[in-house]
Amino acid sequence: MTLTTWLAFFAASWAISVSPGAGALAAMTSGLNHGLRRGLITVPGLILGIWTQLLIVGVGLGALVAASPTAFEVVRWSGVAYLVYLGIQQWRMPPRDWATPTETGHASARSLIIRAWALNAVNPKGTVFFLAVVPQFLDLQQPLLPQYLLIGLTLSFTDLVVMAGYTALAARVLRALKSPEQQRLLNHGFGALFVCAGLLLALFQR
């Protein structure tokens, strides 16, 4: 991969990371529910999900998902169910007293990471996206492994910055809404967005 090609991918990766999606929604929800410090634990999970997608594409399983209607549908509906589940959980989240320290939250760091990883990993749109976009930046005359690693590191960097920003936005701005009514509206809003993301994934066609 030449420097010019990498710079083009670097620019594209910012657009990929900034674009609203389930990952951004998960980062903001984590910041809202757990505060900044603990909410940031979600970010490594999202990045691990990206690496999982790259691995799937790199070893050729992505081609199977893209070519097999059955495999694609199984993965797609798993993603739909997971997003709807997260939406219901967020909708039912009770209001909190932010005057009481809540940085520790109720979820363990491990569960936060696994939840975020699953969100990005169980997403056939991501697989199809990587299959369509990543090959455009690969030099097939050169070893592919170093190029995949460079792509993964680039996406990890941009996603780290952007998702940390989304988490901070929710933790510092949305958390300022302290009344129970405001918190219910936020929880219902984020819950509805998760469900909408699931419905959009259900309507997604290759």
Q: Residue 125: which of 195, 199, 53 has the closest Cα? A: 53
Per-residue pLDDT of the chain (206 residues; tens, 9 = 90+): 788 888 888 887 787 777 667 788 888 888 888 888 888 999 999 999 989 988 887 777 556 655 677 776 776 687 678 778 777 877 887 766 544 444 444 668 888 899 889 888 877 667 766 776 677 677 768 887 888 889 889 989 998 998 999 899 888 876 666 677 777 787 788 778 778 867 776 775 55
User: Is 16 among the domain residues?
Assistant: no
pLDDT for res 101: 42
Domain count, the chain: 1
User: Is 135 among the domain residues?
Assistant: yes
pLDDT for res 62: 55
pLDDT for res 73: 77
User: Is 123 among the domain residues?
Assistant: yes
- Domain of 91? 3-10+21-203
Neighbours of 41 (CB within 10 A): 20
User: Is 190 among the domain residues?
Assistant: yes
| DSSP count for the chain of H helices, then E strands | 9, 0
pLDDT for res 172: 81
User: Is 131 among the domain residues?
Assistant: yes
pLDDT for res 161: 94
Taking every pair of Cα atoms in the chain, the longest distance, rounded to a whole number of angstroms, is: 60
User: Is 15 among the domain residues?
Assistant: no
The 3 state secondary structure assigned to 150-196 is HHHHHHHHHHHHHHHHHHHHHHHCHHHCCCHHHHHHHHHHHHHHHHH
CA 30 to chain CA centroid, nearest Å:
12
Give residues with Cβ within 8 angstroms of 198, minimum separation 6.
Answer: 79, 80, 81, 82, 83, 84, 87
d(CA 43, CA 27): 7
